Each structure stands twice: as structure tokens, then as C-alpha cells.
Structure 1
Amino acid sequence: MSKKLLFSIIVVLLITNVATMLFWKQDDTSDVIDDKEIKTNEAVAKIDGNEITYQDWMKSLRENYGKKQLKDQIDHQIVKQLAKEKGITISEKIVERDIALLTTMQGLTSEKELNELEEKWEEDILYRYQLEALLAEGASISDSETQAYYTKYDRQYQFYESVQLSHIIVPDMATAEKVVDELEQGADFSLLATEYSIDEDTKNNGGYLGFNSTDTQFLPADYFDVAEGLEEYSYSEPFTTANGVAILYLHKSLPDITFSYEELQPYIRNELALQSMNQSLVADPLWEKLDIEWVYGE
């Protein structure tokens, strides 16, 4: 690829990225930030009458973050291009596993919010594994090394079924039916948990139990049986437990995603290669493989 063409691609990326557009935006008379229209010829903040102008704000963003933002975009373009040239593909199953792991690290999110996060995560996951493969290219790692590593750390590569739950525990069925009636009328589950639940450990958090794998010892086994019959973002009928009458809410259900050695071998090899090379997961060594020009220098 010619310098001119690659530089054109970088410029397009720069222009189309919303965050970077803020850094370089100069001539428009208005901007939209958090759905609010901002006049670029007016102050964006006032402190005891002292103004911070829009232009001062943009200048500070450009000077402090502009280079990092542009470098990040170049890194992603380099990795994407080289991975395509070398036929490096990442298993969809690996991507699904990593998205599942990231999902379990989230708190409560709406279905829409989670879908938006998953799109961003997928892009980052593909970049990370492609970068790892490119950096590890040519390293010598034996099958016996990858097999030994898999045998020792097998479980850390697997993802086991997990459900994200909330519950409301009440003392009797009559109270439970009252709660269900309010839910059917559109009441918020977490608010009802705060009001009605007798579980002191969770009521102040809206009954939230977090993500739990099916082998956990912290939840009653029948919770998972009930959850199996629920659709995501729905609640159960009341059922009797050792602690009272429960109403369960299923936020998210994540299935098993497990791997054989053969499926993981190339990823373990790349991981071990970077360890042996003491190579950080950064794209800098790949810059020399392409002709790159950018506003900050050669």
C-alpha cells in the first residue's frame, strides 16, 4: 500500500470518529454533546465570571488526547490490514467466550446497553487476538509446551453456565401474590425488593444476586431450576424456599462455552510466545511493516 493511500485512510478514520472530531472541530458554529446543542462561540463553563471557551476546551483535548487517539486508530488499522494479508482469523467461539466473561463483570444493564457494549467488546477482542498472533509470528513454541500449559490451566480457558439473578423474599404466599400483582401493573422489581424483601443481604441492592455459575454454593439449587424456565428480563411465579417465598428475576443467562486442546492450542501458543519474548501487547513493532505518515511525524 502506498503512503498516500494509507494516509488517506487514516484521515478518513480521523474524520469519522466522533471523539476525534471533537478534538479537531473548529469552524462549525454549534456542536451536539450529550444531546445538548453547544454554541462554539460561547463559553462552555464559567467559574465566578471567568470563562472557559469552547476553543480553549478543544485545544486542550487536542493537545492532551489527540495524539493518543490518532495512534490508537492507526494501530487498529495496521492490525486489521496485516491480519487480513496473513489470513489471521479468530474463532467466533473465542469471541463469544470473552464477551461472556466481560458480561459477568458488568452490573445491571438494560438489554440495549448490553448489546451496545457487546459490539464494542467484539471489536476490541478481535483486535487483541489478531495483534497477539501478529506479534507472536515466527516464535518457536513446542506442542509439548502448549499441551503442558493447557493441562495445568485448562479451567481458566473455559466458561461455565452462569445466570444473573435478582430475587425478592417475602414471608408468605399472600405477600408474594401482592408483589406479583404490582409487577404485573408495571412496578419496578428492584424497588419492590427494597420495599418488601426480608433478605437483609440484598434488599438494599434491589434484590440483586449478581452472576452465579450453576455449581455455586451460595444460592439454593432450585433457583437454577426456576431460572431455566424463564426468559431473560422476566420474573418467576412465587415459589417456596427454606427462607420464605421467593420471586426470581432473570436478567441474563449465559451458556457453557468450553474448548478442547486443539481449539485452544494456537491461542496458548501465541500467549506463551509473547511471554518468552517479553513482548507487551502493543502494536508499535508492527509500524515498521507498513509505510505510515501522520501529523505527528514519520
Structure 2
Amino acid sequence: MSSNLNRRRPAPSPAEPGRPKRKLKTGPLLVLLLILFLGNLLWFIAWLIPNDKGGSKEEVASVSGDEITREEWLAAMEDQHGRDTLLELVNQKVMETAAKEYGIKVTDKEVDLELAMLRSTQDSTETALFAGDSARVRDKLKAQLILEKVLTKDVVVEEEQIKAFYEENQSLYDVPDAYRTRMIVVDSMEKAEEAIAELEDGSSFEALARELSIDTASGSLGGDIGYISSKQSSVDAVISETASSLDVGKWSKPLTLENGDIAIITVTEKADGQTFSFKEVSGHISRELALEQLPQSVTPEAFWNEFDAEWFYSE
């Protein structure tokens, strides 16, 4: 999805022999989904807030008899994530209002396209950005599409440019099957067998990954390495090949990685691949090329005054 307005591509030209394919710009989408991840905390906090006023003094933890109250816990979470969470919610509401004002619509098929392309170009080191329920992920992508459509509604892109881009980058729109994968990495076969025994006894894969995995990046996420596809170059070949053969909810036998470590993986979700025709992606391409013609980056905050958006955080 072409939401990065700071990076510009030159106008497309017909493909030339040996010319490399142009890459999708997915960094802004990953930032967008990171904000979504933080946004989920708001709902969690709301769920935790007690109905009675005295409940805020409830003890939620203690250290050597020194208690930590629910009030302190919630205040700490607001300090750490409150601003970003509220910003995400305000911006989403601003974009919904803008869509009504400018008569802009975003279809489910458009969101499906963005999701499919995002999965296919995901950087496996940024998997936390896919956290959150699917409905809210779709809502955030929809808000971003509204922003892009508002910004490009008066920009003209010639049909020849759109066709040239599609011909040059057609492989981008042939999206393979993707598998949401978790892994536990250990340094010996013995530890791998012990982990499998715990899984067979009913232990949570996510909990074991946090406890046992020596891959700290994925371990801190419960082993989540995001969506991967077969023959994906950014992932160890044995992992990508095994993921495509696993049933959802099952785990693999111990896998020896290229660096000698041992991994156990599980697939939590499968996203079927899709091939998008020129007709299906022409609007996406037109919008991407139009964004490159804009002189500067624009965010939803630019519309706050127009739609009387206010919040209590001061700059």
C-alpha cells in the first residue's frame, strides 16, 4: 500500500529487459499497524476499569509485601501508550468524517488487496505490527485508504502510466499463500524434544516460546514471526517450506536451522493466495502514482481543524 508520502518514485515506464522489479512501499503500513497494536490496549484498559470507585485500589501485584494497585497499573499504561492510542482513535474518526464530507467510499475488495499485498511483502522482523483482531486491522487500513483517496482526488494519472506500471510489476499482484507462524528456537535437540513433550502435555506454544526461545525478537512475541510463504528468502528455508505443509494448529518436529539452532514451528492461520487482475488493481496503482506527485507528506492531523477534532494532550 502506498501510504508513504515522503518517498517518491519516478513516473513508470515500460519494462526493459533485465530491469529490476519495483518494490512496494510498506513501511508506513507497518507503522500504521503498530499504532493499531497500541490501540488494542485502550480496550484492554477499559475492560479492566472497575465499576465501583473503590476498585481502583485493588491490589494486582506485590513485591515483598509492597502492593501495586490497579490504579497505579492503569496510570502507568496510560503514560506509556495513552497518547498514541488516543491519536489512533481520533485519526480514524477524522477519516470517517472526511469520507462522508468528500463522498469517498472504500470497498471490502480494496481492503482485501491491501491486506494480501502487505502479507506478501512483510518484513519478518516486524511481526508485532500484525497483532490485533482482524476487524480492527481492516478498520485501520480503511482509514488509511480514505486518507489517500482524499489526498489524490484531484490528481490526474494517465491510463498509459497505470498500464505501464502494471506490466512492469505484474508479479507483485500474484500473491502466494501465506502462513501465520510461531516458532520456538533452542540450542539443542534435547531441549527441542522437551519442548515438544510439554506441548503434548497441553502447554501453550506461545507461553513456551516466551519462556524457552533463544530467539529473543520472536520469543518476546510468543514466537510470532508473522506471515511467511514458501521459498521466502528472508526466512530460513526449512521454516518456510515446513510452514506450507503444516495443518493449522499443529506443530512441527524439531527443525535444524542453517545456523545450527533447533526450531519447532506452528501455523496459527493460513491466508489463501490471490492473483489480482489489472482491473482489480488499476485503482490501487493510480492512487500510488498520484501520491508520488504530491509535494509533501500529509497525515490525518492535517484535517483536525476542518472537522473540529480536539483532545486533552498538549504538545
TM range (shorter): 0.5 to 0.7
Q: 8 Å contact 2:148–2:287 — kept in the other structure?
A: yes
Match of 1:263 among 280, 283, 306: 280
Structure number with larger C-alpha Rg: 1
Which residue is 1:210 aligned to?
225
Deviates more, 1:143-152 or 1:155-164: 155-164
Which residue is 2:94 aligned to?
75
Flag structure 2 segments of 5+ consecutive residues without an equivalent: 1-41, 47-51, 61-68
Give the 3-state SS of the residue equivalent to 1:234 in structure 2.
coil
What do residues 159-201 of structure 1 show as CA deviations (whole Å, max 9, x unaligned)?
43333242567877x987655333211345578789999xxx8
Q: 1:203 to 1:161 in 2, by over 3 A?
A: same
Q: 8 Å contact 1:165–1:252 — kept in the other structure?
A: no
Which residue is 2:22 aligned to?
none
Task: Tell me, yes or no, if structure 1 residue 97 matches structure 2 residue 97.
Answer: no
Q: Cα distance, 1:257 vs. partner?
A: 3.6
Aligned residues: 243
- What's the TM-score once normalised by structure 1's chain length? 0.55
Q: Distance in 2 between matches of 1:195 and 1:29?
A: 37
Deviates more, 1:126-135 or 1:185-194: 185-194
Q: 1:209 to 1:132 in 2, by over 3 A?
A: closer
Task: Tell me, yes or no, if structure 1 residue 182 matches structure 2 residue 182.
Answer: no
Deviates more, 1:152-161 or 1:137-146: 152-161
Q: Distance in 2 between matches of 1:246 and 1:74?
A: 43
Q: 1:264 to 1:281 in 2, by over 3 A?
A: farther
Q: Distance in 2 between matches of 1:241 and 1:74?
A: 46
Task: Tell me, yes or no, if structure 1 residue 142 matches structure 2 residue 158.
Answer: yes
Which residue is 1:129 aligned to?
145
Q: 1:255 to 1:165 in 2, by over 3 A?
A: farther
Q: 1:246 to 1:158 in 2, by over 3 A?
A: same
**What is the percentage of aligned positions where both structures have the same residue?**
18
Give the 3-state SS of the residue equivalent to 2:266 in structure 1.
strand
RMSD: 5.5
The letter for the 2-side match of 1:275 is E
* Mapping of residues 1-298 of structure 1, within 5 Å: 37-38=70-71, 72=91, 75-82=94-101, 85-89=103-107, 91-97=110-116, 100=119, 106-107=126-127, 114-116=131-133, 118-156=134-172, 159-163=175-179, 164-166=181-183, 179-187=195-203, 189=205, 202=215, 210-211=225-226, 212-216=228-232, 219-220=236-237, 223=239, 226-237=242-253, 247-278=264-295, 280-283=297-300, 292=307
Q: Distance in 2 between matches of 1:202 and 1:70?
A: 33
